[in-house]
Amino acid sequence: MGKLQEFDITFKDNKVVYSPGDAVSGTLKITTAQALLFKDIKVNCQGFCGVTSKIDDTAWTVEEQYFSSTLSVADKGTLKQGDHSFPFKFLIPASIPTSFEGNYGKIMYRVRAFIDTSRFSKDYKTEKPFYLLSLLNLNEVPDIHGPSSSSITKTFTYLLGVKTGTVVLKAQSDMKGYTPGQVIKLTTEIDNRSGKTTGTVVARLIQKVTYQTKKPTIDLRTLVQVEGTGVKADKQAEWKEQIIVPPLRQSSMADCGLINMEYFIQISLKSPVVSFLLPIHIGNISVDTTSAQLSRPPPQTPDPLYSSAKPAKLEHSSRSEPSSHNQGPPTTAPRPARRPAPKPVPRMRVSTSSPSAPPAEMDYLANSMPTLYPLLPPEYSTSTLPHGQSLTPIE
């Protein structure tokens, strides 16, 4: 480092994680081996976002800056041989996004220091990043209470196009918002109105990050995948599965105009090829389900003169153990159930539309795979995590 033996930034109490509205304070330490003439010594605190269309490229195509504050800690003069300390303090704005780093961009916060020397001498600079955590309270997300549900009906041909069949696929999650460690409870119903056994049913937790470059770049990742067996010809079945939410970054990058993060549960059949998405939110503060229950009106008691028997429900399999991205198959065996009384089944179409472009890179999940598909194909997977779970057939 030439004349400098030390040029380092230290944060007060070695703190490296901050929240919006906090003060970042610390000390710039300089140790010189000999006297050093300088024009200015400055410390800068900066928060910015940069995105690109090339993977792991730091030559940003588009940037946005959230704040940049500069403090001059010493004017023109001479740093004598020895140790020197310059304290600094910056206030972080109250409305800025959480830190993030992905394949095609990052949201970064850092403190930098500069020593401007004379015209023909070497300038010096150093920097130290810090992490900003902006918590997402799921209770502040609009329409967060209740399940996320969807359904689709598909007509298909088989036996070389000689015969036609229909499959009805319905699914719902118990909630719309989760925090890491919570369990997503999925209920899926398959009504196979054909003479052919369906392929396996698959549920995937998918993460999508959109980077807003000139042509938006989409980065997808399958985080968790679980599977159940197919449904025999002219049978119905209900599949219940649970997925433990792994450590994930929060949904949405509030106050960031260049990066957007979303999460979905994709429900699909491998044959016939049919799928849809259940949008969910991942946050830091869990949904208060008690307040939602208190706000619901009490159930009405039906008039006995006009009451009718409730339609029979599909029997379901024994509850499986929660599934995380590294868990094995459940040990609970399915049990058969009787077919309910026949009832008319209306033709249903997708009630939750798929996003126009399919989820993001996590540094703790190694097998990210970007895709250019406009929709999420049902066979898409970057994970080899089969979770053998049988369905309960209805005799």
Whether residues 324 and 248 share a domain: the answer is: yes
Residues 179 and 216 in one domain: yes
- Amino acid found at 395: E
Residues 118 and 205 in one domain: no
Tell whether 210 and 326 lie within a shared domain. yes
- For residue 351, what is the domain's CATH number? 2.60.40.640
Identify the weakest region by mean pLDDT among 50-54, 189-193, 355-359: 355-359
200 and 323 share a domain? yes
Least confident of 101-105, 271-275, 368-372: 368-372
Specify whether 112 is located in the same domain as 161. Answer: no
Do the beta carbons of residue 103 and residue 371 sit within 8 Å?
no
Most confident of 139-153, 302-316, 375-389: 139-153
CA end-to-end span of the chain, whole Å?
79
d(CA 334, CA 331): 10
Inside any domain, residue 308: no
Decide if 293 is inside a domain.
no
Within-domain flag for 296: no
In a domain, 292, yes or no: no
> Each residue of 311-363: pLDDT tens digit?
333 333 334 445 544 443 333 334 444 444 443 333 222 222 233 233 333 33
In a domain, 300, yes or no: no
Q: Which residue has the tokens 């605190």?
A: 45
Domain end (from 132, 157, 175): 132
The larger pLDDT score, comparing residue 384 to residue 223, is at 223
Q: For the sheet containing 82-91, what is the strand order?
A: 4-11, 23-32, 82-91
Q: Is the pLDDT of residue 110 over 70?
A: yes
Mark whether 360 and 249 lie in a shared domain. Answer: yes
Domain containing 154: what range? Answer: 138-287+314-393
CB–CB of 221/206 below 8 Å? yes
Residues 84 and 211 in one domain: no
Residue 147 and residue 277 in one domain: yes
Q: Among the three residues 132, 166, 183, which one is the final residue of a domain in this structure?
A: 132
Task: Tell me, yes or no, whether 188 and 145 share the same domain.
Answer: yes
Q: Using one digit for the tens of pLDDT, what is the confidence trace for 236-247? A: 999 999 999 999
Pairing of strands 40-51, 36-38: unpaired
For 349, phi and psi rounded to 5 degrees?
-120, 175
Same domain, 201 and 334: yes
Flag whether 30 is in a domain: yes
Burial 117-127 (b: 16+ CB within 10 A, else e): eeeeeeebebe
Q: Decide if 170 is inside a domain.
A: yes
* Residue 302 maps to a domain: no
Q: Round to whole Å and give the CA distance between 148 and 171.
A: 8
Number of domains the chain is built from: 2
Q: Pick from 51, 6, 19, 42: which is nearest to 284 by CA? A: 19
At 88, list the tokens: 């600094």
Of 88, 115, 132, which closes a domain? 132
Q: How many percent of the chain have pLDDT more than 90?
A: 66
